[in-house]
Amino acid sequence: MNIESQISPKVALVAGANGVIGRNLIDHLLTLPDWDIIGVSRRGGESNGRIRYVTADLLDIDDTRKKLSGLTEVTHIFYAAYQDRPTWAELVPPNLAMLVNIVEAIEPIASGLKHISLMQGYKVYGAHLGPFKTPARETDANHMPPEFNVDQQDFLERRQKGKSWTWSALRPSVVCGFSLGNPMNLAMVIAIYASISKELGLPLRFPGKPGAYDSLLEMTDAGLLAKATVWAATEKRCANQAFNITNGDLFRWNELWPKIAHYFGLETAPPLQMSLDIVMSDKEQLWNQMIEKHGLSRHSYKDVSSWPFGDFVFSWNYDFFADGTKARRLGFHEYIDTEAMFMNIFDDFRRRKVIP
């Protein structure tokens, strides 16, 4: 039973409000009648109705405290902010600092704070380092640091001791949904790569490492993740725990890739390993021409490019999946077919005129 179903309103502070995770979380919260929403990011946004945006630099503790000083009504912090850096070690200081700064700004002033939700990922299991134990489980041992996901959870565990609020940690696989200017957006990678391939009259070649085409993977739909995030934040049995959140099915690119090609009206050709970050680096002029030719929304090439992340995902020549049964055992039963997820996202991109 949802412990807060009769309490209205709840006030969500969503950190990282313009990312693929934060944006979809806000969209879900807006469908729920008993939530008011405060979106926090560096870019801000347009406030209306039950949502208002605050522009803040979470890396700057003084700016964070100043901008958030009046948010005494916050009941739930949903932390989905992320700062990209070139190396795993360099990721730790900024990503830990942003979480610490927002908690230290809100916790002392929000007397009704009930929950802090932390967005993690399979880096907790060492999935980014190479072949790891599959299926990964929430009880698996940590790997050798550095790892900011672990440091963030350790901070919340220490901070929560003796407090009335609780925390949860969500561990999705690769998250797919709509977002612009996001460094980790696989659906956008595929959509732009396929659209440019079609414009050049080329088949859709899988660009990953040998073996990646045949590995077993899973994805996490951003809308499904949003539902799971709110569920874990409001279900008392989920207090102070981590949960793997996945679509619920497994796939191999060797089966899904031809279906994606078919969606875009393309043939496939044998996989050919190449760095998208390199081969797509000279395509900005072509993209601008495509905007004019097809009447697309005027999104810059930079905003629709996540090529390094595509190279990262397509390099996984090992199985990449986790056990999602813990969430199901505690009552979260949402799922989505991964093929349908991709097609729905591509349809959304077309409706928004992001792609032809």
What is the extent of the structural domain holding 88?
10-175+221-245
Q: Which residues of the chain have pLDDT under 70?
A: 1-8
- The whole-model pTM stands at 0.95
> Are 60 and 138 in the same domain?
yes
> Are 137 and 68 in the same domain?
yes
For residue 5, the model assigns a pLDDT of: 45
> Are 100 and 34 in the same domain?
yes
- The CATH number of the domain where 64 resides is what? 3.40.50.720
> Are 273 and 148 in the same domain?
no
> Are 212 and 274 in the same domain?
yes
204-205 and 166-172 beta bridge pairing: unpaired
User: Is the residue at 267 inside a domain?
Assistant: yes
User: Is the residue at 14 inside a domain?
Assistant: yes
User: Is the residue at 4 inside a domain?
Assistant: no
Q: pLDDT tens across 199-228, in order?
A: 999 999 999 999 999 999 999 999 999 999
> Are 18 and 102 in the same domain?
yes
DSSP state of 215: S
> Are 148 and 121 in the same domain?
yes
Quote the number of domains for the chain.
Answer: 2
For residue 182, the model assigns a pLDDT of: 84
For residue 4, the model assigns a pLDDT of: 46
Bridge-partner residues for 12, per DSSP?
37, 76
What is the C-alpha to C-alpha distance for residues 217 and 220, in angstroms, rounded to an integer? Answer: 11
> Are 66 and 193 in the same domain?
no
| Closest residue by Cα to residue 226 from 23, 7, 12, 16 | 23
> Are 113 and 49 in the same domain?
yes
For residue 8, the model assigns a pLDDT of: 59
| Closest residue by Cα to residue 340 from 267, 248, 271 | 248
